[in-house]
A and B are shown apart, each in its own frame.
Chain A
Amino acid sequence: MSETETRAAVPAPRAEEKPLLKVEGLVKHFPLKKGLLQRQVGAVKAVDGIDFEVRRGETLGVVGESGCGKSTMGRLITRLLEPSGGRIEFDGQDITHLNTSGMRPLRRDVQMIFQDPYGSLNPRHTIGTIVSAPFKLQGVEPEGGVKKEVQRLLELVGLSPEHYNRYPHEFSGGQRQRIGIARALALKPRMVVADEPVSALDVSIQAQVVNLMDDLQDELGLTYVIIAHDLSVVRHVSDRIAVMYLGKIVELADRDALYQSPMHPYTKALLSAVPIPDPRRRGAKSERILLKGDVPSPISPPSGCRFHTRCWKATEVCRTTEPPLAELKPGQRVACHHPENFDDQQPQDVVLLAAAKEAGELVPDEVLAQSAETSAAVAAEVEAAAGAEAAAGGEAAAGAEATETAEAPAEGPAETEVAKEPGDK
């Protein structure tokens, strides 16, 4: 598959359009206290400096394993939690430290859907009361009255308007999640943050809710941030995807780019671990990267690149220097010194750490060979491109990537595109 085709599927961002949500250096530390005087002895670094933006009308998927800070991130951008640092901008307005009253208008624009359709609905309230609560809280009188509007919302999410006077326990899990969605949509929000919206649901019901959210996005022009651990679901719903590890975003890329040629070794391991519902691919176990040990504690995350303790490519520079989240390819940002499917950012640093050698034993040889091949191919491309550029002033680059290079001649060789993606099939 060629890169151009892949990217056509993703809505092209218009350069002049400002993102709906812009997050810079966002930090949330939960302090740990100890001792006689309850001094702060450390902090759980749940979110530790992340930057991203959410474009209007897109779905940003956020994936990562438990404890990576994705849920905390969701609560920060909806301002259910107070950030410890950084900046959150919603539609051009700085909302980082808005107080409750300052947040009130924003509460209309940003809504949240939670994982547990059982826990998030008050069992003593009728569906009517639950879905109309946002109107009362905001003092909004919708056209035609609250009841009519609530019934319209119930219909919108695929429930019967007659359910108005029923109680949550009378509904199944999928229906309850629909109620949660109706409540979130009551005030016509612009952005909906959904934290594991379908993971508590059965497979057949999951699909109903995923499709519903999809339809609602088209119909209402919603912007979604969907936080989930299920990589198949995230791929299905997202336009762009952020991968988090220990409070950091390690990779942020357009969906297809991320799934077809992940650049961060962690992303690659994560993707390889997803069980494939295809028994004939069982042989593909040889492609599976098993990660060594457990995720380190977010109280004292590893120095440098946080993944270096489990990464099979880690070298000295990974231990000492934190890699920046840099846009190595257009639309694909990655924080890695030795990315996959791309040329090495620190080629001089070749000696593997001892831990990396151990980790490498769990990585199938095929994967290693493939990875080396890809990197060599990329390096060759880069060299060729650079050579061609030097020779012909950047005009006559050879092969399929000619267009790519021409698009961004000023970006220099490091950001040159790769045409072939031999790393995936």
Chain B
Amino acid sequence: MISYIIRRTIAAVILLLVVTAVTFGIFFILPKLAGQTADQLAQQYIGKNPTPADIAAVKANLGLDQPVYVQYWEFIKGIVSGATYDLGPTTVQCNAPCFGYSFKDHLEVWPQLTQRLPVTLSLAVGAAVLWLLGGIAAGVVSALKPGSFFDRSAMGVALAGVSLPMFFTGQLALLLFSYKLEIFGRTYVPFTENPSQWANTLFLPWCSLALLYSAIYARLTRSGMLETMNEDFIRTARAKGLRERKVVVRHGLRAALTPLVTVFGMDIGLLLGGAVITETVFSLHGIGEYAVQSITTNDLPPILGVTLLAAFFVVFMNLVVDLLYATIDPRVRLS
């Protein structure tokens, strides 16, 4: 078990290094391939109308004229021990862990990420609770009475939920409940400050996001449950004389939901890397919004930071899923 975790962690670190290297490559080499010179790159880091001397200084100080592997090494070093960017007129101190410094909004990337993470986390976890409850319940009931009225209508709603895009449902909900009826607030308040206000603002984003996911989970639960209820061990459970409810919950559900763990882990991992559309629609200042901002302004360091964070969550959740799996299913051996 422990050796398994160690091995997986090492693999995760290697994977993250590869992700950074690839992202780094994309953002730092592609401009060069596209014909941007180091001078033009350097220009992006300082204000308007720089003197050639300024540009040269920035270029040298930021190492933009260095080969790409040296730049990459500097970046990795920054994460571990911090970095100092000497921009000629000013010097910027970026503390460890330094995930880069945005020369556009003159902010370090890491504090931005940590500041925005609670928003994204609130959004993801809240929505997850809703979609798990709704999706699994709908799926189980559908599976127990396949072809029934409930089954057909639930699956119809599920289909709609999957097909309707978030910017449509989200905008609609926002217009109706927030602007028109003014039931829900629109400014994010941290949980630590005012929990009820926190929930109030997040309710609409939660529901919009949950609608999408619960649709998927309902369908997955339904098919998993239908399959499980045909298993031999369900017949055995019934042959013991167990009540049907116990058969479903104790014997059916546990086996049917196991594959959902994988999907759920992936979904949460992806969402923590930023629920881009939801955050944009509901103007939540989360990781996703940060990513969108940075991409539109072509601000490289934040993009790199967000990518790394997202990759980290996906890799981390994967490990969690595998460990969970081994706990749920005794047949799974970690090796």
CB distance from A125 to the nearest CB of B (A): 26
CB distance from B8 to the nearest CB of A (A): 11
Q: How long is the Cα–Cα vector from A38 to B6 in the complex, in angstroms?
A: 12
CB-CB contacts of B295-335 with A at 8 A, as 1s and 0s?
00000000000000000000000000000000000000001
Q: Please, which residues of chain A bring their CB within 8 A of the CB of B3?
A: 35-36
Chain B, interface size category, equals under 10
Contact (Cβ within 8 A) A34 B7: no
Which A-chain residue is minimally distant from B4 (CB atoms)?
A36
Q: Please, which residues of chain A bring their CB within 8 A of the CB of B6?
A: 36
Which A-chain residue is minimally distant from B7 (CB atoms)?
A36
Interface of chain B residues 1 through 43 with chain A (CB within 8 A):
3, 6-7
Q: Please, which residues of chain A bring their CB within 8 A of the CB of B7?
A: 36, 38
Q: A33 on the interface (CB 8 Å rule)?
A: yes
Which B-chain residue is minimally distant from A35 (CB atoms)?
B3
CB distance from A30 to the nearest CB of B (A): 14
Q: Please, which residues of chain B bring their CB within 8 A of the CB of A35?
A: 3
Q: Please, which residues of chain B bring their CB within 8 A of the CB of A36?
A: 3, 6-7
CB distance from A251 to the nearest CB of B (A): 36
CB-CB contacts of A18-48 with B at 8 A, as 1s and 0s?
0000000000000001111010000000000
Chain A, interface size category, equals under 10
Which A-chain residue is minimally distant from B333 (CB atoms)?
A34
Q: How long is the Cα–Cα vector from A21 to B7 in the complex, in angstroms?
A: 46
CB distance from B108 to the nearest CB of A (A): 37
Q: Please, which residues of chain A bring their CB within 8 A of the CB of B335?
A: 33-34
Q: How long is the Cα–Cα vector from A233 to B335 in the complex, in angstroms?
A: 41
Interface of chain B residues 248 through 297 with chain A (CB within 8 A):
none
Which B-chain residue is minimally distant from A37 (CB atoms)?
B7
Which B-chain residue is minimally distant from A36 (CB atoms)?
B3
Q: Please, which residues of chain B bring their CB within 8 A of the CB of A34?
A: 335
CB distance from B7 to the nearest CB of A (A): 6
CB distance from A299 to the nearest CB of B (A): 14
Which A-chain residue is minimally distant from B10 (CB atoms)?
A36
Which A-chain residue is minimally distant from B335 (CB atoms)?
A34
Q: How long is the Cα–Cα vector from A38 to B7 in the complex, in angstroms?
A: 9
Q: How long is the Cα–Cα vector from A36 to B7 in the complex, in angstroms?
A: 6
Q: Please, which residues of chain B bring their CB within 8 A of the CB of A33?
A: 335
Interface of chain A residues 144 through 166 with chain B (CB within 8 A):
none
Q: How long is the Cα–Cα vector from A323 to B280 in the complex, in angstroms?
A: 77
Q: How long is the Cα–Cα vector from A212 to B6 in the complex, in angstroms?
A: 58
CB distance from A36 to the nearest CB of B (A): 5
Q: How long is the Cα–Cα vector from A33 to B335 in the complex, in angstroms?
A: 8
Q: How long is the Cα–Cα vector from A38 to B334 in the complex, in angstroms?
A: 12
CB distance from A83 to the nearest CB of B (A): 25
Which B-chain residue is minimally distant from A32 (CB atoms)?
B335
Q: How long is the Cα–Cα vector from A38 to B11 in the complex, in angstroms?
A: 13
A residues neighboring B (CB under 8 Å)? 33-36, 38
Some 7 contacts from A to B, beta carbons below 8 A apart, are: A33-B335, A34-B335, A35-B3, A36-B3, A36-B6, A36-B7, A38-B7
Q: 7 tightest A-B contacts by CB?
A: A36-B3, A36-B7, A35-B3, A34-B335, A36-B6, A33-B335, A38-B7
